[in-house]
C-alpha cells in the first residue's frame, strides 16, 4: 500500500497498532510507513472493529509459514515477536461521513486483501 499512496489523492491513511505509544517511532521506521501510525494499547478499536485473537493453529498455518519462507528467501531476518502474535489485524475504509464503507477481517495473518482491492475500496467511497 505504501508504494501506491499517490493513487489515493487526499485520502487519509493511518495504521493502528496495539503497541505502546513509546514504540510507535520504531514500528513506523521498521515498516517504512509514510503515513500515520497510531497506538491502541488497550485494543479498544480492535474490539469495536471485531478483530479477534486467533488460535495458534490459525496463526501458524501453512500460508503464514509460506509467507515467512518467502521473506527469508528475500533476505529478511525474522525477529522474535515482541507483541501478541495471536491478535489479528484488519483493513478498513471509512468514508468522508465517518461511516464504515469496507471491512476486511482476516482469519489468519496471511489472509489480507490485495492492495488493488484496498485502492478500489477507497475509490468507491468517492
Nearest CA among 1, 12, 29, 14 for reference residue 117: 1
Look at residue 83 in the predicted model and tell me its pLDDT.
Answer: 82
Is the model more confident about 92 or about 8? 92
* Residue range 81-106: mean pLDDT, rounded: 91
* Cα distances (angstroms) measured from residue 108 to each of 6, 20, 55, 77, 90: 29, 23, 9, 21, 10
Domain ranges of the chain: 2-124
* Residue range 80-90: mean pLDDT, rounded: 88
Residue-averaged pLDDT of the chain = 89
Q: What are the tens digits of pLDDT across the range 49-60?
A: 999 999 999 998
- Model confidence at 20: pLDDT above 70: yes
CATH class, range 2-124: alpha beta
Neighbours of 98 (CB within 10 A): 6
- Model confidence at 2: pLDDT above 70: no
Amino acid at each position: 500500500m505504501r508504494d501506491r499512496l499517490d493513487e489515493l489523492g487526499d485520502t487519509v491513511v493511518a495504521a493502528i497498532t496495539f503497541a505502546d505509544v513509546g514504540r510507535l517511532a520504531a514500528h513506523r521506521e521498521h515498516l517504512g510507513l509514510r503515513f500515520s501510525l497510531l497506538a491502541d494499547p488497550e485494543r479498544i478499536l480492535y474490539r469495536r472493529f471485531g478483530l479477534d485473537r486467533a488460535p495458534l493453529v490459525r496463526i501458524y498455518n501453512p500460508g503464514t509459514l509460506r509467507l515467512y519462507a518467502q521473506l527469508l528467501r528475500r533476505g529478511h531476518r525474522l525477529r522474535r515477536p515482541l507483541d501478541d502474535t495471536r491478535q489479528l489485524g484488519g483493513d478498513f475504509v471509512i468514508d468522508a461521513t465517518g461511516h464504515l464503507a469496507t471491512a476486511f477481517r482476516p482469519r489468519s495473518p496471511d489472509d489480507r486483501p490485495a492492495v488493488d482491492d484496498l485502492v478500489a475500496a477507497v475509490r468507491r467511497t468517492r
